[in-house]
Structure 1
Amino acid sequence: MIRDLGLHLALIAVLFVLGLTLPDYHQGNMARILVLATYAVGYNVLFGYTGLLSLGHAMFFAAGMYGLGLVMQHGGWSPVPAFIAGLVSAALLSVIVAVLALRTVGVAFMIVTLMFSQSAFLTILYFGTWTRGDEGFVIPQAARQVAGLDLTDPVTRYMAALALFSVALLLVLWLVRRQEGAVLIGIRENEERTRMLGYNVLSHKILAVVMSGTLSGAAGAGYALLFGYVGATFASVQYSIFPLLWVLLGGAGTTIGPLVGAVFMFYLIDYSSGLTNAYMLIAGVVLVLLTLFARAGIMGEVRKRWAPWLP
């Protein structure tokens, strides 16, 4: 446990130094990546550790985003209470989804989560008077101030994104090193055997969905607060697929994998788009090759080949 904690604190320290030394362009990119990696960390709890494949996680991201954005836009709330409202919105939605969706298994669970997510997306469009639908709305710069800190300042924004990611990362590390985390992994590997050992499988699955959804909602609220935009695009299907790709690329069931996957995919598309208009073809070929020759993902292969102790 000490070694694991030391590794994660060292990673956070490296990210902190990068925030002070990176050029403006990469500093802005990394701030965005850290928030999206928080989203992937939440998704990894459900998919990587529990083995439940969700195709509707964008609804949790959007719940946090709109939970914060709407009360700031229409209620004049300050950022901290609004962020808590975003967390509560995502947590409540995740409880509802857990209770209903976990009545199904396998492919049915995937379809049900996708249906819930599409319902959330259509709800945002239906209440366009408040949400501004596809157009979305901007949170004014003057409203994005916390305790005298201007969250629109690049360095402050980066550090806030790092703080959000760090809390999510350490929380998941704490979970997977506890008995509850071992039970989640047991459910992923062999659900029936876990049930035969006397563990309440349903309650642990509910825990996984709620924790995953709340962390994803925290990422959504953080994105809205730090980048000042709330829009229905973030509730669409593509934002349910993105965290799946990041987790698969970085290594499902590894605590650091979601960050590695998000960084890899972001810069793969960024650099290939500077080479050709067919950048998605390059990205697709690289992703296929990585899937074929590193099936466990980047950090999954590192764990399998050189560091089996990695959480």
Structure 2
Amino acid sequence: MSRAVGLHIAVLAGLALAQFTLPEYHHGNLARIMVLAAFASAYNITFGYAGMLSLGHAMFFGAGLYAAGLAAEFGGIAAPGGLVLGVIAGALMAAVVGVLALRTTGVSFMIVTLMFAQAAFLTVLYFGEWTRGDEGFVIASDMRRVLGLDLADPATRYWAAFAVFGAVMLGSLAVARSSFGRVLAAIRENEERTRMLGYDVFRAKLMALAVSGAMAGAAGAAYALLFGYVGATFASIQYSILPLLWVLTGGAATVLGPFLGTLLMFYLIDVSSSFTTAHMMIVGFALIGLILFFPKGILGTLRERVVPWLP
């Protein structure tokens, strides 16, 4: 077993052990962080590995969130089916958006994905009779059960979040170490040269976006089912910017970077907001320091300077 695989298994083992050792408050926080880190890992596929700066991932997360939530609310579909629907919804939306948005590159791609995301957000608000808009709705407890286990129970919720995060993280590791991942890295570094070498760049980028959408949809569905709430806020532009910040903090194109970035940013906001209303200013100063001392994110800079084997 390689050092890289061993490291990621050790991280999962540490998270499993944390289930039995963390205080109640941090236990609940870590469950939430793992789901959001799965979302950040999804974003890292397109931004970190394929070099596509998207501001539309909130619509993929929201697609999974609403697929699971609306299926439970109006279709009577419980948690396992809701999670599957979330994955399908995220992947389909990413594929449809990708077919259109990938006709552009660079800043144009960013703007197009932002426009699609805003259109999706406004659609959620327009159909407020079903989605309940910003107010949102709570998923009934009987729809949040898997094999007789209640996802509202803290221990069950933690293990479910752990399973979702573990699957997404190991999937990201498989992509990073695969020939497909190397093609994405080549596209990120020099798209024209990759095309000249005979690779179908459009197809590779579309596949990356679809995989990313499926992962983001899984994270959205998991969030809805584990925490029992569905609301339009999760489809807003804020949830397109947050995964970008998490990935930049931890290190783009590193498998563990999204988790580290999500963990640090979550607690930075949590701790700073407890003693000041200007907590976002503290976050801003932290990001400036990050750019100055860790220009490629924490793990990205460490890989460049200390641990070159880190995927």
How many residues align? The count is 311
The 5 Å alignment of 1:250-265 reads 250-265=250-265
> Cα offset for 1:284?
1.4
Tell me what 2:206 maps to. 206
Q: Determine whether 1:57 maps to 2:31.
A: no
Equivalent position SS for 2:254: coil
Q: Determine whether 1:166 maps to 2:166.
A: yes
The 5 Å alignment of 1:158-237 reads 158-237=158-237
1:41-90 deviations in Å (ceiling 9; x for gaps): 00000000000000111000000000111010001112111211111111
Tell me what 1:267 maps to. 267
1:81-136 deviations in Å (ceiling 9; x for gaps): 12111111111111101101001111110111001101110111111111111111
> Cα offset for 1:290?
1.1
Match for 1:66: what amino acid? Y
Counterpart CA distance in 2 for 1:61 and 1:154 is 23
Counterpart CA distance in 1 for 2:287 and 2:268 is 9
> Cα offset for 1:142?
2.6
Counterpart CA distance in 2 for 1:231 and 1:136 is 4
> Cα offset for 1:231?
0.3
- In 2, are the aligned partners of 1:20 and 1:155 still within 8 Å (CA)? no
Tell me what 1:308 maps to. 308
- In 1, are the aligned partners of 2:63 and 2:89 still within 8 Å (CA)? yes
The 5 Å alignment of 1:11-90 reads 11-90=11-90
Match for 2:226: what amino acid? L
| Identity score, percent | 59
Counterpart CA distance in 1 for 2:193 and 2:18 is 45
Equivalent position SS for 1:259: helix
The 10-residue stretch of structure 1 (276-285 or 196-205) with the greater mean CA deviation from structure 2: 276-285
TM superposition score normalised by structure 2: 0.98
Tell me what 2:239 maps to. 239
Equivalent position SS for 2:74: helix
Q: Determine whether 1:290 maps to 2:290.
A: yes
Match for 1:139: what amino acid? I
Q: Determine whether 1:154 maps to 2:154.
A: yes
- In 1, are the aligned partners of 2:60 and 2:90 still within 8 Å (CA)? yes
> Cα offset for 1:33?
0.4
Runs of 5+ consecutive residues of structure 2 not aligned to the other structure: none
- In 2, are the aligned partners of 1:269 and 1:279 still within 8 Å (CA)? yes
Counterpart CA distance in 2 for 1:283 and 1:172 is 27
Match for 1:25: what amino acid? Y
Equivalent position SS for 2:242: helix
> Cα offset for 1:2?
2.5
Counterpart CA distance in 2 for 1:79 and 1:279 is 35
- In 2, are the aligned partners of 1:47 and 1:252 still within 8 Å (CA)? yes
C-alpha RMSD over aligned residues: 0.9
Counterpart CA distance in 1 for 2:252 and 2:17 is 27
- In 1, are the aligned partners of 2:91 and 2:212 still within 8 Å (CA)? no
1:179-217 deviations in Å (ceiling 9; x for gaps): 100000000001111111111111100111001111011
Counterpart CA distance in 1 for 2:292 and 2:208 is 29
The 10-residue stretch of structure 1 (142-151 or 160-169) with the greater mean CA deviation from structure 2: 142-151
1:153-198 deviations in Å (ceiling 9; x for gaps): 1111111101100000101111111110000000000111111111
Match for 2:158: what amino acid? Y
Counterpart CA distance in 2 for 1:110 and 1:240 is 11
Tell me what 1:131 maps to. 131
TM superposition score normalised by structure 1: 0.98
- In 1, are the aligned partners of 2:56 and 2:116 still within 8 Å (CA)? yes
Match for 1:86: what amino acid? G
